[in-house]
Amino acid sequence: MILPAENLLSDQTSPYLRQHSGNPVHWRPWSPQSLAEARQTQKPILLSVGYAACHWCHVMAHESFENEDVAAVMNRLFVNIKVDREERPDIDQIYMAALTAMGEQGGWPLTMFLTPDAKPFWGGTYFPRETRYGRPGFIQVLEAVNKAWQEKQQSLAESAEQLSAHVETRLAATHTPTELDGKLLTALADGIFGMMDRQAGGLRGAPKFPNAPFMQTLWLNWLVNGAATHRDAVIDSLAHMLRGGIYDHVGGGLARYATDAEWLVPHFEKMLYDNAQLLRQANWALAANGNELFRVRIEETVIWLLREMRIEGSGFASSLDADSEGEEGLFYTWNNAEVAEALGEDSAKFASSFTLSAPVNWEGKPIIHQTPAQTAHEVEHREETTRLKKALLTARAHRVRPGRDDKVLVDWNGLLIVALAETGRTLGKPEWIEAAEAACAFIVDHRDEDGRLPHSILGDRALYPALSSDYASAINAAIALYEATGKTDYLKTARQFVDMLDQWYADTDGNGYFLTASDSNDVPIRIRGDVDEAIPSATSQIIEALVRLANVTGSIELQEKAWRVAEHAAGRSSRQQYGQAGIVNACTLAMNPMKLVIVEDRNAPEFVPVANRYPDPRRVDIIIARDAANELPALPGGAYPSTEKAGAYLCTGLSCLPIITDPDELTRVLGG
């Protein structure tokens, strides 16, 4: 099938792909039809992978993909396929693994050259239109690749076959299961701690990413093994981020990463997943040390999410762009004159809580950040700094806004639903829990006629089928909402999603799951989804979902399944733990399940506020009313809690503490 000689992206569900619909390049989306065209014409494929908030993706698009001369060469020599990595992480992971196997540094835009049967034979990331930065010009690259293909087609095809086999072994193979052992967590946490920046927090060097899976490893090692230095490293890293330039001090929310080693100069795009994970971890930090900085940043970030990222009162958009008016960070940066104009007579107070800095080699306006003393002043004078921020936010509203990627990704929304439910409980914000419920309903309402979830939703269109990460994230979201609301329908929904996982994603031996559904007909390799990216891997989220659902329901069947999947995942990850920290974290949850059953007078709760103040990623919380007679949760060993009086039962593994009847005692037990 030969597709029309034109750009075919205008009707796609991805805003990123639509951004490229006006290019003179004859772009095709990744689809069976596009792959068939390559096979029929025997042209190699030029695969370009990016995402809407990617600065260098925009640069390459402007320089090359919008250029008639470059497009003419691309159209003549290749079948050109554009992929949104957020919409198709399965495709992105395959070819990113191929690039790194070639010894190249990964990143986006990802530019890969494939044989007509979609096997990779060469690639890179960003290429400038003209030769510079020590990189060849893009037309030069295109012509060189074509020349090599024409002259060495057989050897390139053989190399591509070998590379594809290597990638499949790495991403899809089965390995001998490993017996779960707490040493996995200890070894990984010690290794991560050894890489930490003792002065600025995070990992040493630049650029600096939040790296939520690594932070969770350290946090779990404190909870499980009492490694207080690991806990402190997480708290210190979060504090540095939240007073650094990577945090938007005017509007709330964290940028994707800092380009420097001090958290000062962000890469200004804001991703939903970063902020979802930030909320959870800041909530843990608040419970551990009571630093009001974390409360302030949680509140500001949720307000920003509800104000700027919510789609029609329900699901949440994927990201905000780094650029506006063609300049990175222009929307977020300030000079002294702009601050003075916005604050008027209050401008003198600005320096008490904030600093403007323009570091060496930074070409934009100064960036707002804080010293530790300024952070303390902000927290102590919350009313004053809130007024300053409100005035700056009002002034900023008149600027040209960065673009927003409006697609609603199920797995990222699941992460945020969990965060909203947990922080809503801790901070006593029922409206946040209601927002989480609305987002969950939005996702559930977009199931197809067979009850299957989509991966991405944009307006009245959705992309089916979902990935296994979507189901896992949705299960964890449903459990978090059950904990927050007590509505048992959420557990029924979670169970239905486990059934969907088993039907469409399980391997033939029932020892694990693939990232893509069994009826996905356009994936060259059906991968496991073991590798962490900025969020924990699909496999790790599945293990967590199975562990938590087994824990809350008392299902032995689910418990055995979770353990089996965890052992096989641990076997696959044993030689790549730094890239698969999420699996180690999830295996830790499987080995250390905790259940808190609270019998409470709902009109005068005493124990629930204590549980809410001390969140623990190992724990599920079940609240039942005094004098309840039906659907009581079973404790380990088959006993049932007494509902004659208020109290709390804390169970770890197969053993429970005696009933706790004093809220102060529960505070001592949970607060350590």
DSSP class per residue in 110-145? EEEEE-TTS-EEEEES---SSSBTTB--HHHHHHHH
Q: Where in the chain is the domain with CATH 3.40.30.10?
A: 15-172
Of the listed ranges 286-295, 386-395, 638-647, the one predicted with least confidence: 638-647
Q: Which amino acid is at 83?
A: V
Residue with tokens 């929904």: 493
**Sign for the pseudo-dihedral over CA of 595, 597, 602, 607:** negative
Residue 467's pLDDT band (cuts 50, 70, 90): very high
The set of residues, in sequence order, having a beta carbon less than 8 Å from that of 665 and lying 6+ positions away, is: none
Residue 329 and residue 634: Cα distance in Å, rounded? 53
CB contact at 8 A, 147 and 128: no
- Provide the whole-model pTM: 0.96
CA-atom Rg of the chain in angstroms: 25
For residues 505-511, average pLDDT: 93
With a cut of 90, say whether residue 538 has pLDDT above it: yes
For residues 469-485, average pLDDT: 98
CB contact at 8 A, 357 and 366: yes
For 71, 99, 109, 652, the CA distances from 85, given in Å and listed in that order, are 22, 15, 10, 40
Predicted confidence at residue 1, as pLDDT, reads 67
The set of residues, in sequence order, having a beta carbon less than 8 Å from that of 454 and lying 6+ positions away, is: 410, 446, 447, 448, 462, 463, 464, 465, 466, 470
Residue 100 and residue 106: Cα distance in Å, rounded? 6
Task: List beta partners, residue 254.
Answer: 247
For residues 638-645, average pLDDT: 86
Q: Which amino acid is at 608?
A: V
Question: Exposed (0-12), middle (13-18) or buried (19+): which is 390, by Cβ within 10 Å?
Answer: exposed
With a cut of 90, say whether residue 312 has pLDDT above it: no
Predicted confidence at residue 643, as pLDDT, reads 87
CB contact at 8 A, 298 and 283: yes
**Sign for the pseudo-dihedral over CA of 502, 508, 510, 514:** negative
648 membership: H or E segment, kind and range: strand 647-652
DSSP-assigned letter for residue 403: P
595 membership: H or E segment, kind and range: strand 594-600
Predicted confidence at residue 136, as pLDDT, reads 87
Residue with tokens 């002259």: 151
Predicted confidence at residue 55, as pLDDT, reads 87
604 is written with which tokens? 């005068």
What is the average pLDDT value for the chain, to the nearest integer?
95
Q: Taking every pair of C-alpha atoms in the chain, what is the biggest distance, in angstroms?
A: 83
Question: Could you give the angle at the alpha carbon of 293 between the alpha carbons of 287 and 298, nearest 5°?
Answer: 75
With a cut of 90, say whether residue 575 has pLDDT above it: no
Question: Exposed (0-12), middle (13-18) or buried (19+): which is 486, by Cβ within 10 Å?
Answer: middle
Residue 569 and residue 618: Cα distance in Å, rounded? 19
Residue with tokens 């299960």: 475
Predicted confidence at residue 543, as pLDDT, reads 98
Question: Could you give the angle at the alpha carbon of 327 between the alpha carbons of 323 and 331, nearest 5°?
Answer: 60
Predicted confidence at residue 176, as pLDDT, reads 87
Bond into 605 cis (ω within 30): no
- For residue 317, which of 399, 379, 405 has the smallest C-alpha distance? 405
Question: Exposed (0-12), middle (13-18) or buried (19+): which is 35, by Cβ within 10 Å?
Answer: buried
Predicted confidence at residue 173, as pLDDT, reads 78
Question: Exposed (0-12), middle (13-18) or buried (19+): which is 47, by Cβ within 10 Å?
Answer: buried
Question: Exposed (0-12), middle (13-18) or buried (19+): which is 196, by Cβ within 10 Å?
Answer: buried
pLDDT tens figures, 444-453: 999 999 999 9
Predicted confidence at residue 602, as pLDDT, reads 82
- For residue 424, which of 406, 440, 400, 411 has the smallest C-alpha distance? 440
DSSP-assigned letter for residue 325: T
CB contact at 8 A, 511 and 564: yes
Residue 607's pLDDT band (cuts 50, 70, 90): very high
- For residue 378, which of 368, 367, 364 has the smallest C-alpha distance? 368
* Phi-psi sector, 227: left (phi>0), alpha (psi -120 to 50), beta: beta
The CB density around residue 174, as the number of other CB atoms within 10 Å, is 14
Q: What share of the chain is helix, strand, coil (3-state, %, to 5)?
A: 50, 15, 35
CB contact at 8 A, 560 and 490: no
Phi, psi dihedrals of residue 605, rounded to the nearest 5°: -70, 140
Architecture of the domain whose range is 408-591: Alpha/alpha barrel (1.50)
Q: Where in the chain is the domain with CATH 1.50.10.20?
A: 408-591
For residues 613-621, average pLDDT: 97
Q: Which amino acid is at 17?
A: L
CATH of range 15-172; options 3.40.50.2300, 3.20.130.10, 3.30.413.10, 3.40.30.10: 3.40.30.10
